[in-house]
Structure 1
Amino acid sequence: MKDVLVIGAGGVSSVAVHKMAKNPDLFGKITLASRRQFKCDAIAASVKQRFGADIDTAQVDADDVDAMVRLIEKVKPALVVNLALPYQDLPIMDACLKAGVHYLDTANYEPRDEAKFEYSWQWAYQERFKEAGLMALLGSGFDPGVTSVFAAYLKKHHLDTIDTLDILDCNGGDHGQHFATNFNPEINIREITAPARHYENGEWIETPALSTRQVYNFEEVGTKNMYLMYHEELESLAKHIPGIKRIRFWMTFGDQYLRYLDVLQNVGMTRIDPVMYNGVEIIPLQFLKAVLPEPSDLGQTTKGKTNIGDIATGTKDGKAKTVRIYNVCDHEAAFEETGNQAVSYTTGVPAMIGAALMLNGTWKGEGVFNMEQLDPDPFMDMLNQHGLPWQVRELAEPLRF
């Protein structure tokens, strides 16, 4: 067993730490650190109450590389699990390089002043991690993460070639709020309001945000409207799946959510450029985040299920084939186990699994890796063992849109 340092104290971090503490055969000492230590202490108290396990907590500003290095050198973990904000990926990677420790995250880097996320900044660390003999694993959440491993699993076991891949993310839960986001509001709204992009025939095709809608009947959830979006795993999958012709990402949204979002956009509350208010410079989206419900508080009232997975078309033994692979997660069951709703659960559990596979040496390497580059089988086995069981089935025909 090896020690781990977890950075960040939101819902995803809470789930990951709860699941780590629940599996002492996989993890040694767990240290949880954040800029606001009181949030770490609250998670530690919950872990103690639920599982009788003790975890250490600490205060750190993840933007401060030197402070991160001092904490790493004090804790001496075998792995740093970055569950903080995407803005902080690069300073945490820098700290891992300086301190000589492996790195894992769940979402790729995004600059604070631009709603743009791509892997170029982190892929640029490839040689530095390789030369240091260290491994950096990117995107060990659900999407990205599990959906990427799903694609690798289909390629290994069900399809000789993958021609098209559609990733479908459905949250069928109801939290009872007029308007709330199921993960960090600032990141969530930046992502949703950005132009949609998908990969087709070697090119990236851009369309206006939320302008392409389709309807899909999700298993155990029902029929939902889903919208074409850009998501970071499209970039890495287009790079790592040979010969793929098209990759798209779809996410469901309710009509009420979109009405509120439209109003907020129209009045300027989703802006990320600073404005002056009473002589003080503020960023409207950050102010909006402060007045919206805290995502980690939604678990108590959220009911329903999520359904996230892939649909891949390709060939097997020279014949056309379409395969669907997905997970269904229940919000109330997730809350009962960890005190968090299913959106946090479906990201926190894969973070724990990725960390476990790195710590025990099942997944190892030198450099920067995306999830689909690694053997999917041990990860898929652990999904079944740790609360995210999956199903795979052949479809009679591909998507007709």
Structure 2
Amino acid sequence: MSRILVIGAGGVSSVAVHKMAMNKDIFGDIHLASRTKRKCDAIAASVKTRTGVDISTYEIDAEEVPALTKLIEQISPALVVNLALPYQDLPIMDACLAAGVSYLDTANYEPKDEAKFEYHWQWAYHDRFKEAGLMALLGSGFDPGVTSVFTMWLKKHKLKTIRQLDILDCNGGDHGQAFATNFNPEINIREVTAPARHWENGQFIETPAMAHKVEFDFEAVGPKNMYMMYHEELESLAKFVPELERARFWMTFGDEYIKHLTVLQNVGMTSIEPVRYQGQEIIPLQFLAAVLPKPETLGETTKGNTNIGVIATGEALDGSGEKTFYIKNICSHEAAYEETGNQAVSYTTGVPAMIGAAMMVTGKWAGEGVFNMEQMDPDPFMEMLNSDGLPWTVEEMDGPVEF
């Protein structure tokens, strides 16, 4: 049994900690820290009620490297699981290096002053982690994370090469709010309003945000409009699946979401440029995030399913020509809430965070340096998806899906 320190106390963290407590044979001693200790205490109380497991809680500013280093040294965990904001990835990695502890996160680094999330900042840490004999695992959420594992499972078991790849992320849930985001509002809106990029013929092609819309019929959800956008796993997939000719990421949004977001953009509320108001400097998007419903409060009212998967076309492993496979997970918002007190968007990220941590502390995934999910054996991770709440299915399609 391993001692774990989880940083962050949002919905994803809540799910991950609940699921860790449900795997007591792997995670024997769980510690939880965030800027707001009462959020940690609330998660710990829920975990205690649901599982009987005690969680130790702490208050920490993850951007204060010396203080965080001291806390990590005090707890002496086998692994630090970073479920805080992407802005905090590098300080937490610095603290892990200083304390001599391995690291895991679910989303790549993003500077506060620019809506640009790329892996190069974290890949630059590879030698430092390698020299320290430590492992850093990046992007162990659903997308990124499971989508990359899905892709590599197909490449290991179904396709010798992958020519085309489409990642489809559908949230068919309804939370009854006029406008709310299902994960951190600031990160969500920065992602959605950024220019879209997709990989094609050896380079990234940039197009305006939300410019490409396609209707797709999702199992257990129905027809939904999905929009092409940039997502970080495209960068790592292009690196670790070098034969890819084209890779795209699609996410569904309802008409009401698009309408509200358009108005907010038009009036400047999605800007990350500071403005002066009553003698203080504020960032409009951060103010907007503060007044929107918190994602962790949406679990009780959210109904419906998520459907997230990968459609891959390439040369069949058995030599039978080109084939297309669709591998996906369908997750119920109601079932996620019943099990952990959180809606399915948090659940589909928190469970893979727990599984990635399990891979590392059990030694099923090991290495020295900084690694992406594509570099690991997909099989043990896929097994835990089935056993721990995110079962998947795979089907052969009649041919490539063109949209």
- Give the TM bin, normalised by the shorter chain: over 0.9
Distance 1:23 1:160 in 2: 35
- Report the counterpart of residue 2 of structure 1 in structure 2: 2
Q: Any unmatched runs of 5+ in structure 2?
A: none
Question: What is the alpha-carbon distance in structure 2 between the residues aligned to residue 48 and residue 370 of structure 1?
Answer: 33
Q: Does 1:174 align with 2:136?
A: no
Per the alignment, residue 294 of structure 2 pairs with 294
SS at structure 2 position matched to 1:290: helix
Counterpart secondary structure, 2:217: strand
1:228 counterpart residue number: 228
Query: Structure 2 matches for 1:82-101, cutoff 5 A?
Result: 82-101=82-101
Corresponding residue of 1:155? 155
Selected match of 1:377 from 364, 376, 379: 379
Q: Which residue matches 1:71?
A: 71
| 2:240 corresponds to 1:277 | no
For the residues of structure 1 that align with 2:262 and 2:274, how far apart are their CA atoms? 20
Amino acid of the structure 1 residue aligned with 2:375? Q
How high is the sequence identity, in percent, across the aligned residues?
73
Give how far 1:306 is off. Answer: 0.1
Cα distance in structure 2, aligned partners of 1:323 and 1:383 = 19
The runs of 5 or more residues in structure 1 that have no matched partner are: none
Distance (whole Å) between structure 2 residues aligned to residue 320 and residue 74 of structure 1: 55
Q: Secondary structure at 2:27's aligned position in 1?
A: coil
The superposition leaves residues 174-224 of structure 1 with CA deviations (integer Å, 9 ceiling, x where unpaired) of: 000000000000000000000000000001100000000111111111110
Secondary structure of 1:3's aligned partner = strand
Amino acid at match of 1:81: V
TM-score between the two structures when normalised by the length of structure 2: 0.99
Q: Does 1:363 align with 2:371?
A: no
Residues 1:31 and 2:27 aligned together: no
Which letter does structure 2 place at the counterpart of 1:189? I
Distance between the aligned counterparts of 1:183 and 1:243, measured in 2?
33
> CA separation in 1, counterparts of 2:402 and 2:200?
16
Give CA-to-partner distance per residue, 1:208-267, whole Å, 9 cap, x none. Answer: 000001111111111100000000000000000131111000000000000000000000
Pairwise CA RMSD of aligned residues?
0.5
Distance 1:86 1:242 in 2: 27
Which residue number corresponds to residue 115 of structure 1? 115
Distance 1:358 1:398 in 2: 35
* TM-score of the superposed pair, with normalisation by structure 1: 1.00
Kindly state the Cα deviation for residue 318 of structure 1 after the two structures are TM-superposed.
4.9
Letter in 2 for 1:342: A
- The one-letter amino acid paired with 1:361 is G
- Which residues in structure 2 correspond to 1:229-378 (within 5 Å)? 229-316=229-316, 317-378=319-380
1:207-226 matches, within 5 Å, as 207-226=207-226
Equivalent-residue separation in structure 2 for 1:203 and 1:271 (angstroms): 28
Could you say what secondary structure the match of 1:324 adopts?
strand
* Matched residue count: 401
String of CA shifts for 1:309-368, please: whole Å, max 9, x gaps: 100000111501000000000000000000000000000000000001100101000010
Q: Tell me the secondary structure at the aligned position of residue 299 of structure 2.
A: helix
Counterpart-to-counterpart distance in 2, 1:46 and 1:342? 17
The aligned counterpart of 2:388 is 386
Please give the residue correspondences for 1:123-134 in structure 2 after superposition, counting only pairs within 5 Å.
123-134=123-134
Counterpart amino acid of residue 160 in structure 1? K
Deviation, structure 1 residue 50:
0.7
Q: Distance in 1 between matches of 2:272 and 2:364?
A: 41
1:272-321 CA distances to partner (integer Å, 9 max, x unpaired)?
Answer: 01001111111000000111001000001000000001000001115010
The alignment partner of 1:301 has SS state of: coil
Q: Deviations over 1:71-95 (max 9, x none)?
A: 0011010000000000000000000
Q: Work out the CA distance in 2 between the residues paired with 1:28 and 1:313.
A: 42
